Structure 1
Amino acid sequence: MALPALGLDPWSLVGLFLFQLLLLLLPPTTAGGGGQGPMPRVKYYAGDGRRALSLFHQKGLQDFDTLLLSGDGGTLYVGAREAILALNIQDPGVPRLKNMIPWPASDRKKSECAFKKKSSEELQDSYLLPVSEDKVVEGKGQSPFDPAHKHTAVLADGMLYSGTMNNFLGSEPILIRTLGSQPVLKTDNFLRWLEPDASFVAAIPSTQVVYFFFEETASEFEFFEKLHTSRVARVCKNDVGGEKLLQRKWTTFLKAQLLCAQPGQLPFNVIRHAVLLPANSSTDARVYAVFTSQWQSGGTRSSAVCAFSLKDITRVFEGKYKELDKETSRWTTYGVPDISPLPGSCSVGPSSDKALTFMKDHFLMDEQVVGTPLLVKSGVEYTQLAVETAQDVDGYSHLVMYLGTTTGSLHKAVVSGDSSAHLVEEIQLFPDPEPVRNLQLAPTQGAVYAGFSGGIWRVPRANCSVYESCVDCVLARDPHCAWDPESRICRLLPTPIPKSWKQDMERGNPEWACANGPMGRSHPPQSRPQIIKEVLAVPNSILELPCPHLSALASYRWSRGTAAVPEASSTVYNGSLLLLLRDGVGGLYQCWATESGFSYPVVSYWVDSQDQPLALDPELAGIPRERVAAPLTRVGGGVTLAAQRSYWPHFLTVTVLLALVLSGALIILLISSLGALRARGKVQGCGTLPPGEKAPLSREQHLQSPKEHRTSASDMDTDNNHLGTEVA
């Protein structure tokens, strides 16, 4: 920072001195980081009024874990602890309770859980009506014994396909089909089709099969530690089990490895959730899944979203198998057996004994299902996701992903045409961190519902009204939002889409998209602002000019007219400009944002002195003005104007600390000097007194025995021997 010029008045010198002390006091500005990967452009904290959310909660109920949307999209079915709810979500406000079925655990079951050392938490806060036990259906194999066990289930063609734990200890995973007219089938635990630690996350039905997505220990790899891997398993809907072999067992069970990794990087080997996006006219059906890694990079977890083509999954299940060599305990490639139809295929009629014998040991496919990474981000653990497609003003479709985190945030990500994702926003749903339990997208209602321990949040899938200008609306790159030049408002895209509305999803550059709008600029950015905030201050005051950071992706800088701000009397802290108001430092101050190669003024201030007002700049004539009271601190005498935030306590703190430090240094210096003088005096007093000096006045010292002042030869020998021992 430049040195102050000489010839200033005393108050100006005091102001410069205190300004320098303020700069020393302020902590260094740290760049906000959310880990590597795309950053959310806008972040809303819990309770932020700019992002209006609606909360449904019911007294006495908790753990809103399971969400299911009705066929007409107007009812949301919720599975909570000891209750099932039906919510009316047709209105845009808070969901309303339509009906509720209390379903508490019986006293006998609660006693059994407590006896088996399970938590007795269910014994508390139960205000629900009891249900007679003759109406309760046995849920073994269909639901877990412990809520901590990850499980999944799906209804397909009137049958329930479940993946859960089949025992109380959680060491016997099972895939089972119940209900409906087909026979009950399940996996064979003795054949170890599933590892004991299998953890199920999703079940997705298709035309002929049902896919299960889960994570388990990888037995086919030799690794120095317990290696996790993500799987997709497949069973056929028309499977009826074997007649002699594999009775009441799956005869079509197959599983394959899912691979989600970046080139040259460790894979994301732990799957957390998966959803299916059906095929449309332009794309095939795809499965989108969220992964984390069992390894931490830099002490933080990482997450990834990968896309898997349903065609690739089908092709892998029609390929080669793996076989376990029982002598070496190694898995090898078997190839394609000479059996027709192919074992594990959804053929009509019972399979042959040869095919069933083959299926007992060849349930693992040789090839991996390789996914395409769409979003990779460190420092975040995604738990749930929901996906949809959105059409922009040009007719192109974009993939929109809603991602829930372990800390209770919701990310909205958009995938561009080049398969790269950008984060539109981050919404912190809960004031205290807790995982998002479930996400359910309601397209007809334009909302996403997030379940957690205390209720359900209704989150509108877009927040267009927060973008107050065409520039901000276009830079957001939200396919649900576009700028309406007639009403001069950023609006939700209607159907059909008006051709005059403005967007730029690929580049996010408003230079041409807003050329004809109210914020349009057909030339490079100009310094002429849209509105000027007038700040009237007294001399020798420290003025704070805030700069609202509308985007976390933009870089910000300050300018004074067409030049840079004066370094000797200003500094930038947390985006705000701290300005020491001296003679000649008034005028136009602007905070500029640069994003996607486009620069625009975020805010403009006209700083003027109360004693010597500046003449109005003719180039700024006609621009609307608004008088504001900016936070400032008076350094000299006089009255402080609009002191919303005063830095005077900081000055006092610095002064007191400086005085304490100087006093402490002085005391230490004095103590050190006195210690040196005492040591010097002791050294000088140990020898024989020079002639002419008097003997010591201390009578005790004078009367001491001569024995204490002498050293005998025996004592010297003893000391010499002791010293020699220590040296040796």
Structure 2
Amino acid sequence: MLRLLCTALLHALLLRAQLPPRVDIPAGDPRRPVWRFPLRHGDALLLSADEALLYVGARDAVLALNVSDPARPRLVATVPWGPTEERKRECSLKRKSPETECFNFIRVLVALNRTHLYACGTNAFSPACTHILLDNSSMPWVAVGQRDGKGQSPFDPQHSHTALLDGGELYAATANNFHGTEPIVSRSLGTRTALKTDAFLRWLAGSPHPTSPHGAPSPLTRAPSPDDATFVASAAPADDDQVYFFFEETALEFRCVQRLRLPRVARVCKSDVGGDKVLQKRWTTFLKAPLRCSLSARFPAERIRHVAAAPPAPPAAGTERGAEFYGVFNEPGPHGGSALCSFSRAALRAAFEGRFLEREKENAAWSVRSAPSGEARPGSCSVAPSSDQALTFMKDHFLMETPVPPAHGRPLLLSPNVSYTHIAVHQARGVGGTPYRVLFMATAEGSVHKAVELAGGRALVVESIRVFEEPQGISCVLLSASKAVLYLGHAGGLLAVPLSNCSQHRSCAQCVLARDPECAWSSGSGRCESLRGNGGERGAASSLRRSLTWLQDVEGGDARSRCQRGRSGGAEMEAEMELTLRPAAHSVLRLPCPRRSAWAAYSWERPAGAGDAELLPDLTLLLVAQRRSVGSYVCWATENGVRWAAARYRLLEPDGGGRGSEEEATAPPRPPPHGSYWPQLVAVAALLALTLPAAVGLGLVAFRARGKAGGVEKTPLNGEGGVGGERGCVQMDGGSGGESGGLR
């Protein structure tokens, strides 16, 4: 218990110490343009071999967009592919909504060859697949034929799925039934035997079908159980005989009061052909192992959301190939964040070559079992099982004991209060030819976080780009390296975000502090420019020359020393805001301080004797315009030894009249917030309200007392007598009119 508590405390401290995104760019900011193409449900994306065409699996259609100019995508062809009216009627009878569910949502989109695409969709809860003929002539593209898509596409658009094409064969993982309770990993197409997992042997966590009193499947629909396997990604390295599936399922090997969901990785071999007598048309190489992306080895309770394979890159001399899979995980609980972990194929291989877990009965405890000796290892890709005994062993020994640990033994990144949903990986090279992995992670709110993996097993989020005005989810991501664009599919269409925008950095210091591997300050041109097309992808022979003419420091962001070389212009940075204000006298001024970097420290410099001012949490300076407030106000930012003015304000002597001009009202007077001059103002008003009636009363008493001393009151101006008679005076010494006497 104490160990778990210490682990939780360490995790909380690391989350607190994690740096926030350096720059937060709002939607519509010109620094990060976003190109939009409206359509209905961009849920599947595929680039052509030359990356000139982008195929989009939408609702009831497959679209082809010309993206030769990513900023101006142009529709080339539309292939309508919706369910028939009969299918729609059947879907309604299954108690599904004809307005939102009874459509054909494209879930699988792969390129069979240069002339055909292969697409699969939900088809109004009756999965179907088709071939799409790609015609370069003036004839429209068409869908050719239709086949059963069960096991390749989910029935429900809400069910999880993943699929890839390798060697003309489709490897897919999804729900194999209408209720979503039978997860399956299958291989289809091609000329070899179609294979799948065995539902009866429970190789994947699934729930039994709801049944009617007669034992037949119930016609009533049901939501997938939280115990069912949820697939998030798949990968098939070209130089490997293995296909990997990443998913999440209920861990039966743990005895907990509450069922524990764990991330997994499953592996099958491309060379698998199934068994002859045992495991016919079933995988003989299916194995699965736990994935770990947490600080706790005893209680790994992460939720996997997505995994992406890194672009192939040769390992450094004398070293083994590094991490090749990057995954995003969510921490459970209302206050959890997200974690980013990387995994190597060596770690996956070690897990699948370890010991097996087994149990004799359904409710028995799990135990460890080594592979039988004397023959080929069960589940091995190199040598096929040689006997039915080995295949019988595989039927019950599909779960590995050893979890797959993250590279460097810890997460690359911990982001509190953020929920990552998708990830894409880009390979970039810095000025000296050093390779860097740049990671793009979509959030549940519809932002994109750009992170750079540094040496030593850590990553820094250098940008947070909001792509929507209002929060909404992203359904898929696809990165085009040749176009340097990240494509995002969502319910309302397609977005394209450039991977970098070096021109937004207008000084050497800004360029170096950005820590973008694709951006460097050119000493020759005096601009921050992209290394693409400027020698950034060339060999190591010119790396020394580039390091002298192009200034960059991805690892440390040391702009102070880098920008003092040659004609770099020094480390000077221009102010974000410079204003001259002549406010109205006694007006409340709000002087904002733009935060160009969340990693910088900020402080205000004010004129001597300027009087009281209040600093708000967002660094805004609040003050009252007076004569002593006149002078220069500067908000200074300091990052990595570089100091710059984030904002400069010059306050002139206040106008004695009312409100200042509209031009001067950049910081308009507003009611000060709680904790400034407002309480004093309220107190003074309250005191006046209490003392004014008392003062009036005292004045009346004094006036009457003066009348007593004189014995008479003066005649009213209208010449009429007071109360009690027509004479010009009233008796004041206790007569009949004494009680009612006085002025009215």
Quote the residue 2:663 is aligned against. 642
Q: 2:28 aligns with which of 30, 47, 52?
A: 47
Cα distance in 2 for partners of 1:41, 1:327 equals 51
Q: 1:402 aligns with which of 435, 440, 445?
A: 440
Quote the residue 1:453 is aligned against. 491
- Of 229-238 and 388-397, deviating more is 388-397
Q: Does residue 1:496 correspond to 2:535, yes or no?
A: yes
1:150-185 deviations in Å (ceiling 9; x for gaps): 100000100001101111001001111110011111
Q: Does residue 1:140 correspond to 2:150, yes or no?
A: yes
Q: 2:593 aligns with which of 539, 547, 568?
A: 547
With over 3 angstroms needed to count, the CA separation of the structure-2 counterparts of 1:415 and 1:347, relative to structure 1, is closer
Cα distance in 1 for partners of 2:492, 2:552 equals 38
Quote the residue 1:121 is aligned against. 99
Cα distance in 1 for partners of 2:159, 2:233 equals 13
User: Do 2:377 and 2:385's aligned partners in 1 also have CA atoms closer than 8 Å?
Assistant: no
User: Do 1:185 and 1:249's aligned partners in 2 also have CA atoms closer than 8 Å?
Assistant: yes
How high is the TM-score relative to the length of structure 1? Answer: 0.76
State the AA in 1 paired with 2:79. I
Cα distance in 1 for partners of 2:392, 2:597 equals 61
Q: Percent identity?
A: 41
1:326-376 deviations in Å (ceiling 9; x for gaps): 286111100121252111112455641011110110111111111131111
Quote the residue 1:158 is aligned against. 168
With over 3 angstroms needed to count, the CA separation of the structure-2 counterparts of 1:530 and 1:343, relative to structure 1, is closer
Q: 2:82 aligns with which of 80, 104, 110?
A: 104
Q: Does residue 1:290 correspond to 2:328, yes or no?
A: yes
With over 3 angstroms needed to count, the CA separation of the structure-2 counterparts of 1:597 and 1:88, relative to structure 1, is same
User: Do 1:559 and 1:591's aligned partners in 2 also have CA atoms closer than 8 Å?
Assistant: yes
User: Do 2:91 and 2:102's aligned partners in 1 also have CA atoms closer than 8 Å?
Assistant: no
Q: Does residue 1:594 correspond to 2:642, yes or no?
A: no
1:173-223 deviations in Å (ceiling 9; x for gaps): 111111001111111111000001001111111321211111000001111
Cα distance in 2 for partners of 1:532, 1:450 equals 33
Shift of 1:47: 2.0
Cα distance in 1 for partners of 2:158, 2:267 equals 24
After TM superposition, the structure 1 = structure 2 runs for residues 537-616 of structure 1, keeping only pairs within 5 Å, are 537=582, 540=585, 542=587, 544-560=590-606, 566=609, 568-573=611-616, 574-580=618-624, 582-583=626-627, 585-609=629-653
Q: 1:365 aligns with which of 379, 394, 400?
A: 400
The residue matched to 2:510 in structure 1 has which SS?
Answer: helix
Shift of 1:571: 3.6
Q: 2:68 aligns with which of 90, 93, 99?
A: 90
Quote the residue 1:64 is aligned against. 42
Q: Does residue 1:336 correspond to 2:371, yes or no?
A: yes
Q: Does residue 1:280 correspond to 2:314, yes or no?
A: yes
With over 3 angstroms needed to count, the CA separation of the structure-2 counterparts of 1:460 and 1:127, relative to structure 1, is closer
Quote the residue 2:719 is aligned against. none
Quote the residue 1:200 is aligned against. 231
The residue matched to 2:279 in structure 1 has which SS?
Answer: coil
Quote the residue 1:623 is aligned against. none
Quote the residue 2:210 is aligned against. none
With over 3 angstroms needed to count, the CA separation of the structure-2 counterparts of 1:463 and 1:517, relative to structure 1, is farther
With over 3 angstroms needed to count, the CA separation of the structure-2 counterparts of 1:162 and 1:656, relative to structure 1, is same
Shift of 1:655: 9.3
The residue matched to 1:114 in structure 2 has which SS?
Answer: helix
User: Do 1:242 and 1:351's aligned partners in 2 also have CA atoms closer than 8 Å?
Assistant: no
User: Do 1:64 and 1:456's aligned partners in 2 also have CA atoms closer than 8 Å?
Assistant: yes
Cα distance in 2 for partners of 1:395, 1:594 equals 29
With over 3 angstroms needed to count, the CA separation of the structure-2 counterparts of 1:124 and 1:567, relative to structure 1, is farther
With over 3 angstroms needed to count, the CA separation of the structure-2 counterparts of 1:649 and 1:220, relative to structure 1, is closer
After TM superposition, the structure 1 = structure 2 runs for residues 415-494 of structure 1, keeping only pairs within 5 Å, are 415-494=453-532
Shift of 1:418: 1.9
With over 3 angstroms needed to count, the CA separation of the structure-2 counterparts of 1:57 and 1:346, relative to structure 1, is same
Q: 1:326 aligns with which of 356, 361, 380?
A: 361
1:285-339 deviations in Å (ceiling 9; x for gaps): 511111113x32xx32311111111011112111211111328611110012125
Cα distance in 2 for partners of 1:393, 1:219 equals 50
User: Do 1:398 and 1:417's aligned partners in 2 also have CA atoms closer than 8 Å?
Assistant: no
With over 3 angstroms needed to count, the CA separation of the structure-2 counterparts of 1:324 and 1:668, relative to structure 1, is farther
After TM superposition, the structure 1 = structure 2 runs for residues 120-269 of structure 1, keeping only pairs within 5 Å, are 120-122=98-100, 135-196=145-206, 197-206=228-237, 207-262=240-295, 267-269=300-302
Q: 1:535 aligns with which of 580, 600, 608?
A: 580
Shift of 1:518: 6.6
- Of 187-196 and 199-208, deviating more is 199-208
1:593-616 deviations in Å (ceiling 9; x for gaps): 01124322234444444xxxxxxx
User: Do 2:437 and 2:453's aligned partners in 1 also have CA atoms closer than 8 Å?
Assistant: yes
User: Do 1:321 and 1:364's aligned partners in 2 also have CA atoms closer than 8 Å?
Assistant: yes
User: Do 1:341 and 1:347's aligned partners in 2 also have CA atoms closer than 8 Å?
Assistant: no
1:630-680 deviations in Å (ceiling 9; x for gaps): xxx7465696573425755638998995577558878999xxxxxxxxxxx
With over 3 angstroms needed to count, the CA separation of the structure-2 counterparts of 1:513 and 1:227, relative to structure 1, is same
User: Do 2:59 and 2:103's aligned partners in 1 also have CA atoms closer than 8 Å?
Assistant: no
With over 3 angstroms needed to count, the CA separation of the structure-2 counterparts of 1:175 and 1:339, relative to structure 1, is farther
Cα distance in 2 for partners of 1:583, 1:445 equals 57
With over 3 angstroms needed to count, the CA separation of the structure-2 counterparts of 1:450 and 1:565, relative to structure 1, is farther
Cα distance in 2 for partners of 1:208, 1:348 equals 12
Q: Which has the higher contact order (CA 8 A, sep 6+)?
A: 1
Is there any run of 5+ residues in structure 2 with no aligned partner, and where? 1-14, 107-122, 124-129, 131-141, 207-227, 537-545, 695-744
1:415-449 deviations in Å (ceiling 9; x for gaps): 11122111111111122222211111101001100
User: Do 1:541 and 1:634's aligned partners in 2 also have CA atoms closer than 8 Å?
Assistant: no
1:678-706 deviations in Å (ceiling 9; x for gaps): xxxxxxxxxxxxxxxxxxxxxxxxxxxxx
User: Do 2:163 and 2:170's aligned partners in 1 also have CA atoms closer than 8 Å?
Assistant: yes
Quote the residue 1:306 is aligned against. 341
Q: Does residue 1:388 correspond to 2:423, yes or no?
A: no
State the AA in 2 paired with 1:114. S
Cα distance in 2 for partners of 1:271, 1:308 equals 13
State the AA in 2 paired with 1:154. L
With over 3 angstroms needed to count, the CA separation of the structure-2 counterparts of 1:531 and 1:311, relative to structure 1, is closer
With over 3 angstroms needed to count, the CA separation of the structure-2 counterparts of 1:639 and 1:315, relative to structure 1, is closer
Quote the residue 1:374 is aligned against. 412
Cα distance in 1 for partners of 2:658, 2:41 equals 61
User: Do 2:523 and 2:568's aligned partners in 1 also have CA atoms closer than 8 Å?
Assistant: no
Cα distance in 1 for partners of 2:149, 2:300 equals 36
